[in-house]
Every structure is written in C-alpha cells, then in structure tokens.
Structure 1
Amino acid sequence: MEDSTPLVTFYDIAFGPPMAETTCAPNPWKARYALNAKAVPYKTTWVPMLDISKVRLAMGVPAARKFADGSDYHTLPMITDSSTDSIVGDSFDIAIHMQTHYADSGVKDLFPPQKLDYVFEHDLAIFAPLSGRDEGVCGDYVRFNHNVDAAFSAHVMLMAHGLPFDSVSGDDVRAEFARRAGVPTWDDLAVRGEKRGVLWGEFRETLAGLARLFMRDCRGPFLLGEEVNFGDFIVGGWLKFMKGTLTSDEWEEARTWHDGVFGRLFDALEKYAEVH
C-alpha cells in the first residue's frame, strides 16, 4: 500500500514535547507497530491525558476497561479509518482491524499460529486496570497479551515516576494519577533505595519465562525467528515504555537481561517504530 493520503487517524497520548519522541505508553505503541507493519497510511492526533475521556465520549467510543469500583477507565489508543468508516478504541482490536481490512498489505499475518504459553501468576497490586476481552478471536494472543500486561503492570511502579509529562499540565496529571492510586501525592508512588532494588530483581526474574519464548527459534529476534507478529508488538510496546521512563543506566541494564533478548527485540522493532 502506497504511503499517500492517510486513511487512518491514530489517537495517541500526548506527553511532553516533542511528542513524537516522548510517546511511550505501551498500548498505543502496540497499535502503532501494527499500523506501520501493515503499511497503512495514517496521521497521529495527540490527545492531552486529561482530555482522553472527553475525546472518546465525544466520538461515542466506550471505555475498554473498568476501575475496581466499576467506573470507566478511558485511555488510548483509538483510530478512525476513513476507508471502512469505522472507529476502533483498543490496541488489540486495532491490530485485528488492520489484519482484517488490510490483509494483503505489509506484513502478511499479524496473528500466525504459535504457542504463546507465558503465564504470570501474582498477588501484586496492578497500577491500572487490565483490559478484559473474550478469547474467541485470536485466543492465544488474547491470553498472551493479558499475561504480558499483568507482568509489566505489576512492576510499573519502577517506571511510572519517570513518565515524561508536559510541563504545563504535568502537575494536574500527577495529581490525577495519585488519586487513582489512592495515595496522597505523586511522590508517594516513587520506589527508591533498597525497595527499588528488590522490585527490580523481581521484575528481572518475572521476565525470565517470557524471554524463553524468544529463545525457541535461534534465528531470532522475534517470537517466530525472523517473522514479526503482534506477539512481538505486545512485548515491544512495554519495552518502549521502559525506554521512555527508566533512567538510561537502568534501561541499558534491562536490555541485557536474559542473554539480551529484549535488547535485540527492541532494536529489531525500530523498523516499525516510525511516528507519523
């Protein structure tokens, strides 16, 4: 498909300027990878974090998640597609939409059959609610997405304090995040010192099983060796989050974990990381 007039408007979360460089939310990155892999022309609309609910509601897009109290959790990404006259409001659904409507463009199959048997069992608090969905369509990928999201979300406190908020609205966003987490201030969410070291070690160990999936095909760097798919994008979205929020030293260390599989994956996915 020629990269001409954008067919898709892609709604992403606006962090600090320049937004194309600071964008780091994992779910928008999963969808952006899919858009780029399918070579579908698109343009990005940047939505300030505190305006996400207003934008989704104005477009009639329901929330894909719920907070523990049952209230709606409005987040991004979201797309409008002029070629199909549709609006899609979840990263997984966006990837399915790309595969369904642009099957012959770019990467041929975002959801090839494969064994995705990574399971994360935990009793840790999750910072933000996970998306819930039926497993009927692409069920292996649905379960994989849920377990990967849970593994990273359970350790997101290592990264949340490094979010690159806009200097104008940052204080308001931090206050809203603290409210959602049930703590008095944003600083209460920081993890430092010995506690950080312990959680960092637990995070590394949590990802050991995930890393093993990337070691099954020695050709690498993807789950299926040289063939990229949405499973790689699921993990890659979280690696973008780590890159954008950890200190440079921590990120460089994380890249080397488990024989460097995550560093190699991140680098290989840069082919699909252009921000339009």
Structure 2
Amino acid sequence: MPEPIILYDISWKVKGKSWSPNTWKPRYCLNIKGIPYQTVWVEFPDIAALCTKIGAPPSATARDGKPVYTLPVIYDPNTQTTVSESTKIAEYLDEAYPRTVALVPRGPQVEEFQRASEKLLFGIDVLSIMVPGVYMSLNEASQPYFRATREKRFGKLEELSPAGSEKRAQHWEGVKNTFHRLGEMLQGNAEQEKLLFLGGNDVSYQDIRIASILMWIKAIFGEDSKEWQDVVSWDGGKWARFTDVFRKYEAVDSGSLAKL
C-alpha cells in the first residue's frame, strides 16, 4: 500500500468539504483511481508561502516576471514528487500509477474539446455569478486577499451580479447556455444519450473538468438552492444524470490545516 499523497486544497467556511473547481479535479482523479491521499487545507494568502516551502513549481508567470502560485498542488511521498496545476497532476497520476484507471485521453478531438470547454466554463457569465459567492463563503483570513485580487480583474464584487437584478438574470441565462453548448458537444444519437466524453460508462478527465464546475456551483449555493435546482433541470435533466455518475467519487477527508 503506497503512502498517502498530500493534496493541498483551499479552506473555506464549511469544514471537511471542498469547493474549488480546480482542486476538485485532482480530488476526483484520486477518488476514481482509488489512490490514498490526505488533504491539507490552505488559506488564500498563504498559498505562495506554502508552495515555496514545499518546492511546488509556479502554475504561471505574471507579466512582471514574478511566479504565480495557485492550488491544487500534490506531494507524492512515494516518489518524492511535487506537482502543480490540475491537468499536470492528472497526467502525473496516470504515469506514476499505471495500474489504476487511465483518465487523460489523447488526440486532436480531445484537445479541441478541452479548448472549447475551457473557454465556456470560465467565461464571464460563470465567473460573474460564482466569484461573489466564493467571497462570501471564504474564511475571514482569505476574504481581503480574494477581494483585492479578484477586483483587479473583475471590478467591485457586489456589482458583478447583484441579487434580483436583470444583470444577474442575464448572466445566469449565459451559464445555462454554456451548459447547453457543452451538452451539444457531448451529444449522442437520438436512440441513446451520450453523457460522458468517451461514451459508455468510462469517465475521463474531460468529464472531470465539467463535474468540477458543477460541484463548484453545488458547493457554493447548496444542493437545495434554486440555483442548483435550476442547473439539474436544464437540458431535460442531463446535468442531474451527469452528476449522478460522480456521486460515488465525492469523498472528502477531514484533513489538517497547513503549517507554514
């Protein structure tokens, strides 16, 4: 039995649960593969210091040349390897644990779907709805950092999609259209619905990307919320059936807090 991999995830107000779509990607991968792991929870302002401490490579470089550190990051004690960024983590897990189910498909069709889905899933409509909700869900230790960094990109959080406003309704309609276009990409024939990217019952990393966004919405708004009930009703209930595929892979360990 291998030693547990360490998965670094972002803290929020709900203990023992995960919310970030980016950290849900490796969590789904680990759960599907059945690889033991333990979560370490990190506050937003501590991410750069934590990554520097454990030797995690930056996930990007800013315009001024400074490294940008983000989560997820994993540390694998079995190979003494630290990996940053969700897609690289998925690729690493496929390579390092070849006896587990392979999740990252290859080929031109995969790359085309990935580019299109990335553009749709992180468009302005989704972000305008979700970013203010994330802010309200974070611990006080993370809120000032999150507000400062996100308002540089999006403007004042309270003005992105105010509750009850026409602006919010338009963004939510945009989210609905985004998922409709994703559904069209996955469309099967008239006789048999195609839920998953590869068809059949084989989950791939492309499906995990979508499932992680859906988990984000459910985590931030709650399973009983109007927002989530809207999502699972779209496209004739397609996204309810899609999320049902992933329910058995939603385990989250209680984990521990990061020590800097």
Q: Which interval holds the TM-score relative to the shorter structure?
A: 0.7 to 0.9
**Alignment of structure 1 residues 140-179 onto 2, 5 Å:** 140-141=110-111, 143-154=112-123, 155=125, 156-163=127-134, 165-179=137-151
**Alignment of structure 1 residues 238-253 onto 2, 5 Å:** 238-246=213-221, 248-253=225-230
Which residue of 2 is the match for residue 136 of structure 1?
Answer: none
Secondary structure class of the residue paired with 1:80: strand
Cα distance, 1:199 vs. partner?
1.7
Q: Does 1:180 align with 2:152?
A: yes
Secondary structure class of the residue paired with 2:92: helix
Q: Which whole-Å CA distance do the structure 2 matches of 1:89 and 1:259 have between them?
A: 37
Q: Which whole-Å CA distance do the structure 2 matches of 1:92 and 1:205 have between them?
A: 25
CA contact (8 A) 1:158 1:246 kept: no
Which residue of 2 is the match for residue 10 of structure 1?
Answer: 7
Pick closer, same or farther for the CA change 1:112–1:175 going to 2, 3 Å: closer
Q: TM-score, normalised by structure 2?
A: 0.83
CA contact (8 A) 2:9 2:42 kept: yes
Cα distance, 1:239 vs. partner?
0.7
- The percent of aligned pairs where both chains have the same amino acid is 25
Cα distance, 1:261 vs. partner?
1.9
Residue deviations 1:203-251 (CA, integer Å, cap 9, x gap)? 2223222102333273654222211111110111111111122461011
Pick closer, same or farther for the CA change 1:168–1:199 going to 2, 3 Å: closer
CA contact (8 A) 2:56 2:82 kept: yes
Larger mean CA deviation between 232-241 and 247-256 belongs to: 247-256
Larger mean CA deviation between 68-77 and 146-155 belongs to: 68-77
Which residue of 2 is the match for residue 97 of structure 1?
Answer: 92
Q: Does 1:111 align with 2:72?
A: no
Which residue of 1 is the match for residue 76 of structure 2?
Answer: 81
Alignment size in residue pairs: 244
Q: CA RMSD in A?
A: 2.4
> What amino acid sits opposite 2:82 in the alignment?
I
Runs of 5+ consecutive residues of structure 2 not aligned to the other structure: 254-260
Cα distance, 1:35 vs. partner?
0.8
- Specify which of 160, 168, 187 is matched with residue 215 of structure 1: 187
Which residue of 2 is the match for residue 272 of structure 1?
Answer: 249
Cα distance, 1:146 vs. partner?
3.7
Which residue of 2 is the match for residue 132 of structure 1?
Answer: none
Q: Which whole-Å CA distance do the structure 1 matches of 2:176 and 2:154 have between them?
A: 27
CA contact (8 A) 1:9 1:44 kept: yes
Q: Which whole-Å CA distance do the structure 2 matches of 1:197 and 1:177 have between them?
A: 25
Q: Which whole-Å CA distance do the structure 2 matches of 1:244 and 1:70 have between them?
A: 34
Q: Which whole-Å CA distance do the structure 1 matches of 2:107 and 2:99 have between them?
A: 20
Pick closer, same or farther for the CA change 1:208–1:182 going to 2, 3 Å: closer
Cα distance, 1:70 vs. partner?
5.5
Q: Does 1:232 align with 2:207?
A: yes
Q: Which whole-Å CA distance do the structure 1 matches of 2:107 and 2:203 have between them?
A: 12
CA contact (8 A) 2:12 2:139 kept: no
Cα distance, 1:64 vs. partner?
1.4
Runs of 5+ consecutive residues of structure 1 not aligned to the other structure: 117-139
Q: Which whole-Å CA distance do the structure 2 matches of 1:75 and 1:273 have between them?
A: 22
Secondary structure class of the residue paired with 1:237: helix
Cα distance, 1:171 vs. partner?
3.7
Q: TM-score, normalised by structure 1?
A: 0.79
Higher helix share: 2
Which residue of 2 is the match for residue 135 of structure 1?
Answer: none
Q: Which whole-Å CA distance do the structure 2 matches of 1:149 and 1:275 have between them?
A: 25
Q: Which whole-Å CA distance do the structure 2 matches of 1:45 and 1:207 have between them?
A: 32
> What amino acid sits opposite 2:232 in the alignment?
R
Cα distance, 1:69 vs. partner?
5.9
Q: Which whole-Å CA distance do the structure 1 matches of 2:130 and 2:154 have between them?
A: 18
